[in-house]
Structure 1
Amino acid sequence: MVKVWLQFPIFTEQEALAETLRARGFEVVEHPLLAQVGLVEADREVPAPPPVPAVVLLKTREQSAQALKKGYRGYLYPDQGLEVLERALKAVAQGEVWAERRVVAALVGEPLPHLTQREKEVAALAALGLSNEEIAKELGISVKTVKAHLSIIFQKLGVKKRSQLAHVRFLS
């Protein structure tokens, strides 16, 4: 059961969504630090994300890049339904990123020049939330080799955790 924390400006909307999520098997918690994933509603501006991996409900498609730059691990558009919301929350709770490839590609842009081509590939896949096993399968290399590449990438970029790598990849 995925634990979700909600942050909505209108309390009645938040209550209604909490009830809907409970009916779909989620546990809605009262504090973000008790959650596996947060769900936040944006207004004209995308707010700062909570201290847990979070999905933001956007007002417009133009806000998608801003949401990722601010540190959200996923976003949804107004025209997407409950099934998509459910899949996005579960994916982000499991450490994945819920975003369109075109938006991620635009933010990642040209890979960092001081990484080898293979390191760039591994870093990009890790930033997208793929596990070491998934990266190994995608690139046709061993998990041990993926770990070695990630170790070198972390050293070159000055990061210590995969989550920091994702932010470096999106913000650099």
Structure 2
Amino acid sequence: MEPLHLFVSDTPAQASRLPSRRWSAAFPAGRSQNLSALLARSASNEVVWLSSTAPDWKEALSTLVSNQPGRPVVVLSPSPDPTEGLSAISRGARGYTHLHAVPSVLQEVGRVVVRGGLWVGPELVDRVVAATRKLLDPSVQSGAPAGPDPLAVLSAREAEVARAVAAGCSNKEVAEQLGISERTVKAHLGAAFEKLGVRDRLQLVLRVTRGK
């Protein structure tokens, strides 16, 4: 069953307003609701989308996450910025992406967060990875030798795709670099996720960097 996508409107009077035509195209059954109405709903099989242009969006995000932690929240920004993205993720958002992203990207964001993954842009991934490695990997500071190659379980092509994605390349950029189709990139990436036991690109980056 497909999840229901709900956009947080600023006020009850704006309850019919949706974030963009592209969002509406991505989720034809999606609709808008004010924060109070959302908090009164069951959190089953729903994804909430919140714009960073909304007044007090940070407080709204924290309220949504604390009241219904099982329902993923994605923050949409008209001008994505790593600092703003970190603020959203630190408050419990499961995704952070451009307000005017194309429908296919928005749909992919939805799929990732529903699976329990995290969706952020390449710049934010780099910052999160750097901070996480310092906290979780003592070898980063101690100069200890790297461990075994975390991608050894992958085929040669899957490893190429995984490393390119971990470096911040989009599926399209990976396809151009390797001379393959985007569909093939997605297939290799899906296989890599399964073999490595990761759910999203951020987890993939962390897995790759821990072997360096």
> How far did 1:82 drift?
3.4
Look up the match of 1:24: 28
CA distance in 2, matches of 1:113, 1:93: 28
Match of 2:80 among 51, 61, 66: 61
Q: TM-score, normalised by structure 2?
A: 0.46
Provide the alpha-carbon RMSD of the alignment: 4.4
How many residues are paired up?
Answer: 137
Given that 2:50 and 2:57 are in contact with CA atoms closer than 8 Å, whether structure 1 keeps it comes out as no
CA distance in 2, matches of 1:136, 1:82: 25
- Is 1:94 aligned with 2:115? yes
| Structure 1: stretches of 5+ with no match in the other structure | 123-132, 147-161
Match of 2:103 among 82, 89, 95: 82
CA distance in 2, matches of 1:136, 1:81: 26
> How far did 1:81 drift?
3.4
Deviation by residue 1:52-73 (Cα, 9 ceiling, x = unmatched): 2110112432222221222211
Q: TM-score, normalised by structure 1?
A: 0.55
> How far did 1:35 drift?
4.1
Question: What amino acid sits opposite 2:5 in the alignment?
Answer: V
> How far did 1:87 drift?
2.5
Look up the match of 2:8: 7
Given that 1:46 and 1:58 are in contact with CA atoms closer than 8 Å, whether structure 2 keeps it comes out as no
CA distance in 1, matches of 2:11, 2:95: 21
Deviation by residue 1:130-161 (Cα, 9 ceiling, x = unmatched): xxx855624xxxx7xx9xxxxxxxxxxxxxxx
Question: What amino acid sits opposite 1:108 in the alignment?
Answer: V
- Is 1:71 aligned with 2:92? yes
Question: What amino acid sits opposite 2:128 in the alignment?
Answer: L
Given that 1:46 and 1:67 are in contact with CA atoms closer than 8 Å, whether structure 2 keeps it comes out as no
* Greater Cα radius of gyration, structure 1 or 2: 2
Match of 1:39 among 17, 40, 49: 49
Identity of aligned residues (%): 17
CA distance in 1, matches of 2:111, 2:194: 23
Q: Closer, same or farther in 2 for the Cα pair 1:102/1:86, shift >3 Å?
A: same
Q: Tell me whether 105-114 or 15-24 shows the greater mean CA deviation.
A: 15-24
Given that 1:37 and 1:93 are in contact with CA atoms closer than 8 Å, whether structure 2 keeps it comes out as yes
Q: Closer, same or farther in 2 for the Cα pair 1:20/1:136, shift >3 Å?
A: closer
Deviation by residue 1:19-65 (Cα, 9 ceiling, x = unmatched): 93796355888525234321112236642242221101124322222
